[in-house]
Amino acid sequence: MNSSPLVSIVALCYNHEQFLVETLDSIINQSYRNIELMIIDNASSDNSKEKINEWIHNHHDKNVRVVFNEQNVGICPALNYAIKHFKGKYFQMISCDDVMVSDKIEKQVKVFESSSDSLAFVYGNYRFIDANSEFINKANFYQNSGWNTDDDFPSGRIFELLFINYFLRAPTVLYKLDCIKNIGGYDETIPFEDYQMNLRLSEKFACKGMADVLCNYRILENSYYSSSTNDLISKNFFKTMSHFYGKNHMFDWVIQLKFLNFNRASLFFPLRKTIFGLLNYISKEYKKFLK
């Protein structure tokens, strides 16, 4: 399929020696062949570098580049580096512990090529796997929502839906690279590589949802969401939300209510004092009115 659009894929590795071969194999074994791959290792402290070099040696005939960072620069800076050096029409990022379904790219490119120019990304369904690559009997968001067909998956301009209840899973998403460049790439001040990116894209462009399972998403004890405290995750969430704060009164209220819930312990006493003071004032005014 050399006449088909080039798809650029970046595989991000950080201490993924146990899983990276499975991830990389799932990329080069795609039914869609016109792919360029960049592997970025973010200063892993395990044997990831050796595993990557061994894999490269065994696949020297593939269109693959590798970058070994001496320091962990973070996810978003690594993604921006890849974007600057990629030549593809479409872009995919994947962590070196998740796995692509063999026809993922082919299906999504077909959707892009048969759609309007306003489409910025195509996302789809996923399954959970464990450290042994066994499927986990756990319903994902789409199953819990009763989304079974393409028509069930929101498409078009879905910013409001994502803002209220973010439901995308990063490795399922294939992007149009020009759209990412159009909004300035990834915000390097935040750790959530996909969350703010997809919200920003949804402000300007349309998307397409698919019911097809496109990847296997690995659940690990040391993953970001599993190992981080709720406090850290919430702080990073509000840092992400700062990009949208002040643009829309309704969305400001959503952010404020979430912030109030997050800080309910520290804000309870000042708010209680204010509320009781207001009620006391209303009571006095009401008694004056009755006289």
Class at the top of the CATH hierarchy for domain 7-228: alpha beta
Tell me what percent of the residues of the chain surpass a pLDDT of 70: 88
Model pLDDT for residues 78-112, shown as the tens digit of each residue: 999 999 999 999 999 999 999 999 999 999 999 99
Report pLDDT digits (tens) over 126-178. Answer: 999 999 999 999 999 999 999 999 999 999 999 999 988 899 999 999 999 99
Q: What is the pLDDT of residues 178-188, one digit of tens each?
A: 999 999 999 99
Quick one: tokens of 241? 């939300």
Summarize the confidence of residues 195-223 as an average pLDDT: 92
**C-alpha distance from residue 214 to each of 153, 217, 283 (Å):** 14, 10, 61
For residue 122, which of 175, 171, 160 has the smallest C-alpha distance? 175
Work out the angle at residue 223's Cα, subtended by the Cα atoms of residues 203 and 228, and round it to the nearest 5 degrees: 80
pTM: 0.84
- CA dihedral (221, 223, 226, 232) in degrees, to 10, reads 150
**How many residues would you count in the chain?**
291
Q: What is the pLDDT of residue 279?
A: 67
How far is the CA of 188 from the CAs of 74, 124, 211, 226, 256, in angstroms?
A: 8, 26, 31, 22, 24
**Of the candidate ranges 66-80, 182-196, 222-236, 245-259, the one whose mean pLDDT is the lowest:** 222-236
Provide the pLDDT confidence category of residue 233 given band limits of 50, 70 and 90: low
Distance separating alpha carbons of residues 272 and 269, to the nearest angstrom: 5
User: How far apart, in whole angstroms, are the C-alpha atoms of residue 47 and residue 157?
Assistant: 43
Q: Which of 117, 140, 116 has its CA nearest to residue 128?
A: 140
The pLDDT of residue 203: 92
Domain boundaries of the chain, sorted by first residue: 7-228, 249-290
